[in-house]
Amino acid sequence: MGLVILFSIVFLPFDTNPPTTFLEIGLPLVENIGIIPNLGDPAIVSLAYALVVSFILLVAAGIVGVFPLGAGVLGLSGMAIVTAAVYLFFPPEIPAPVWGTGYYAMWGASVIALGASFLRKKPKQPAQPPAATQTAEPPPETYVCSRCRETNPAAAELCVKCGEPLTHAQNP
């Protein structure tokens, strides 16, 4: 999704009035950030700063795209800021931007990235306890009769089959 965001920033029209990529909007502002305060109209200054912030957030979202949560949060923040800024500060005397495919692609990629991060988390169930380490009980001690080879329980004093006294030393 990060690649989609970066691709959208660089290649897709963000504003179709006239067709402008977000890179073409954001980069000059970032490069000339020092003169933004001199633009005069507070609405334009706010808009410019908001665009700079969202531009940086979206580029960051694209770069951290391998981490869906980061890309999703950064991307959505950037898109929310740029959208709010345009509605709040766009000067009425300039024709409002007409969102292009880049705008929608970045929203979509951010939402998908965030969604993917939640989906990825869900299946992570608590690790099953390691198959009950059934330490097989030690086999009960038995004694083999020296005379008839009958296997006798440990408690037996005489062979259960032939009655031979079991000397417990005969344990095999």
Binding site for Zn ion (CB under 5 A): 145, 147-148, 150, 159, 161-162, 164
Least distance to Zn ion from the beta carbon of 166, Å?
A: 8
CB of 133 to Zn ion, least distance (A): 38
Q: In terms of CB distance, is 120 or 147 closer to Zn ion?
A: 147
Nearer to Zn ion (CB atom), residue 131 or residue 155: 155
Closest separation in Å from C-beta 154 to Zn ion: 15
DSSP 8-state code for residue 23: H
Q: What angle do CA 156, 158, 162 make, to 5 degrees?
A: 125
Q: Is 28 or 165 the residue whose CB approaches Zn ion more closely?
A: 165
Q: What's the rounded Cα separation, in Å, for the pair 1 and 123?
A: 21
Phi-psi region of 37 (alpha: psi -120 to 50; beta: other; left: phi over 0): alpha
3-class state of residue 115 by DSSP: helix
Q: How far is the CB of 156 from Zn ion (least distance, A)?
A: 10
- Minimum gap (Å) between residue 160 Cβ and Zn ion: 8
Tell me whether residue 96 or residue 148 sits nearer to Zn ion (CB atom).
148
Q: Strand 19-21 relative to strand 142-144: parallel, antiparallel, unpaired?
A: unpaired
- Nearest CA-CA partner of 74 in 30, 119, 14, 114: 114
The candidate with the shortest Cα–Cα distance to 142, out of 132, 151, 131, is 151
Between 83 and 146, name the residue whose CB sits nearer to Zn ion.
Answer: 146
